[in-house]
Structure 1
Amino acid sequence: MGTSTENASVEQQLLSFLEERTKTPWTPDRDLFADGGLSSLFAMELVVHLESTYDIMVAGPDLQLMNFRTVNAMVAMVDRLRQAAGE
């Protein structure tokens, strides 16, 4: 697992990115899709953002809605993919 400091940094960066792009404040556990924060087009933009910002590849089984529903879910996915890449 990544350090809590690394994960907190990813969380803050994602919250800032989402707020800037949607003009809406978000909390780490708020459902982005249920609350109308994300469209399918924005979800793809988010995948590109995650890949380019955190040097990860989101593909195959990782492209599931559950990995993008909340900032917490995205932080966990980024952490998992970074760990897998480091192995």
Structure 2
Amino acid sequence: MSTPTTQQDTAAIRETLTAFLEQRTKTAVAPDVDLFSTGLVTSLFAMELLVHVEQSFGVQVGGADLTLDNFRSVDAMTALVLRLRGAGDE
């Protein structure tokens, strides 16, 4: 049985991701900023971000989900985590 995603879940994921990015980049990060076009995230750091997302939220990112677009912003990563968590509820 699946439980509906709450705004609290979304806010907690967004807060965790933002804190990690700000700590690693030493820069304030808005949830909708493009992390790649601003240069805050390089392809090497993207791999670290992938590991952080998987370990912090207990999800597995692979296949069609393993794209830069899913890691382009805090909002995109939050949506990815919520989607992956929902896929496991079936």
The correspondence of residues 29-48 of structure 1 with structure 2, limited to 5 A, is 29-48=32-51
Runs of 4+ aligned structure 1 residues displaced above 4 Å come to: none
- Aligned-pair distance for 1:86? 1.6
Deviation, 1:65, is 1.0
Alignment match, 2:68: 65
Shift of 1:3: 1.1
Alignment partner of 1:85 is 2:88? yes
- Look at both structures and tell me which one has the larger radius of gyration over its CA atoms: 2
CA RMSD of aligned residues (A): 0.8
Q: Secondary structure of the equivalent of 1:51?
A: helix
User: How far is 1:30 from its partner?
Assistant: 0.4
Give unpaired runs (5+ residues) of structure 1.
none
* Corresponding residue to 2:21 among 1, 7, 18: 18
Segments of 5+ residues of structure 2 without an aligned counterpart are none
Q: TM-score of the superposition, structure 2-length normalised? A: 0.93
Aligned residues: 87
Q: Output the amino acid matched with 1:76.
A: A
Of all paired residues, the percent bearing the same amino acid is 51
